[in-house]
Structure 1
Amino acid sequence: MSWSQAVEKTVTGLGYELVDVERSAGGLLRVYIDRVPGKTYPTGGQEFVTVEDCEAVTRQLQYVLEVENVDYARLEVSSPGLDRPLKTAEHYVRFAGQQVQITLKLPFQGRKKYEGLLQAADAGEGWQLVFHDGKVDQVLDFSLDEVREARLVPVLDFKGRRNKAAPAAEPSTPGDAGEETTDGGQEE
C-alpha cells in the first residue's frame, strides 16, 4: 500500500473526509480533514473540525505510517479552513449555493479568476458561477476539468456573536451611532 493510500484509508476509516494531502521536500506531511455532514462525532455535534479530531487522526496516522514504514519528518493534521478547497464533484454538490472563488486553467474573456455564487447548471451537467461584473449579474458556465483551483469564500459574521439574551444597545438619538450596512455606507 502506498503512503497516500494508507493516509486515505486511515482518515476515512476514522469517519472523516480526506480533503487534501501535501508532502514537501523537507519531510513535512500535511493532511487536511473535514467532518462528514450528518455524522455524529465523539467530540460533539459541532459542524467544524476540532483540535480533538486532529489529535485523534494524528495518533492513528503516526501508528499506521510507522507500520507502513513511511518516511516523513513531521506530520500535521488540520482542518481545511474557512477557505477550504473544492477538489471533487461531491465538494461542489455539498457547497452549491455558497460563494466560491475559482481559477480557470485557461482565460475566459481575458481573465482566469472569478468569484460568485456556485450553482448546478440548468441543464444538469456542469456548474455555473453567478457573479456581478460591476454593471449586471453574469453567469459563467464551466465544467470541473476547466478549473485549476476552487475555494470557498470565507464568511465572517461577528454580529452573530452577540449575547442573544440581551438586546443590542440602541443609540440614544437616531443617527448617533449609525450602523454599517453591507455595502460599506452608513445607515441613516
Structure 2
Amino acid sequence: MKSSIKDVVGEMVTPFLEENHMELVDVEYVKEGSNWFLRVYVDKEGGIDIEDCGRVSEFLSAQLDERDPIPSAYFLEVSSPGAERPLKKPRDYERAVGKHVLVTVYEPVDGLKEFEGTLTSYDETGLAVAIGQKTYRIPADKVASARLAIVF
C-alpha cells in the first residue's frame, strides 16, 4: 500500500511542480513511532526556498483533502532533498556526473559494498565511480542506493 500512496502523491503533485519549474525528487510514506509521515522532496534549478515549499504544501494539502488517498492520519512535510540529495532517476545521475557521490550496492563489486568518489559516467547499464586512481564500474542492477556526498 505504501508504494501506491507514493505513486498517487507523485501523480498528484507533478503537474503543479512542472508548471512552477520544480521537480519531484522523492516521496516517502513512513511510520516513525506512532506517527505516519508523508514527505515530499522537491527541487529546482538554483534550489528551492521556504516559499516554494509552502506553495507546494498548500497545493498538495488541498489535493490530499479533496481526494483522500491516505486512510490514516499523517503529517505532511515538503522540503528540499538537501546537499546529500538521493540519486533516483536517470536525470539525477546524469546531472551528478563529475560530482562526489556515495553509492552502496546489494552485493560486492570488486570486493566493495560502498563506493565514495567522483561519478565519472552513467548510462542505463550502470555507472562508474573514481576513487583515487582507480575507477570502478558498477552495474545498474547492483546499485542499492546512491546520493551526492559532501567532502569534509
Give the TM-score taking structure 1 as reference length.
0.67
1:126 maps to which residue?
A: 126
Of 31, 40, 55, 1:31 maps to 40
| Correspondence list, 1:109-188, <5 A | 109-120=110-121, 126-132=126-132, 137-154=133-150
Residue 128 of structure 1 aligns to which amino acid in structure 2?
Answer: A
Residue 18 of structure 1 aligns to which amino acid in structure 2?
Answer: L
Q: 1:13 to 1:6 in 2, by over 3 A?
A: same
SS in 2 for 1:27: strand
SS in 1 for 2:68: coil
Gaps of 5+ in 2: none
User: Contact (CA 8 Å) 1:104, 1:149: kept in 2 or not?
Assistant: yes
CA displacement at 1:10 relative to structure 2: 3.6
SS in 2 for 1:9: helix
Residue 19 of structure 1 aligns to which amino acid in structure 2?
Answer: V
SS in 1 for 2:23: strand
CA displacement at 1:91 relative to structure 2: 0.8
CA displacement at 1:4 relative to structure 2: 2.9
Question: 2:69 and 2:39 mapped to 1: Cα distance?
Answer: 14
SS in 2 for 1:106: strand
Gaps of 5+ in 1: 38-46, 157-188
Higher relative contact order (CA 8 A, sep 6+): 2
Report how many residues are paired. 140
Which structure: larger Rg?
1
2:60 maps to which residue?
A: 61
Question: 1:34 and 1:151 mapped to 2: Cα distance?
Answer: 15
Question: 1:66 and 1:84 mapped to 2: Cα distance?
Answer: 29
Aligned-pair identity (%): 36
- Tell me if 1:8 matches 2:10: yes
RMSD between superposed Cα atoms in Å: 2.1
CA displacement at 1:95 relative to structure 2: 1.2
User: Contact (CA 8 Å) 1:117, 1:131: kept in 2 or not?
Assistant: yes
Write 1 or 2 for the structure with the bigger share of helix.
2
CA displacement at 1:154 relative to structure 2: 2.2
Write 1 or 2 for the structure with the bigger share of strand.
2
User: Contact (CA 8 Å) 1:6, 1:65: kept in 2 or not?
Assistant: no
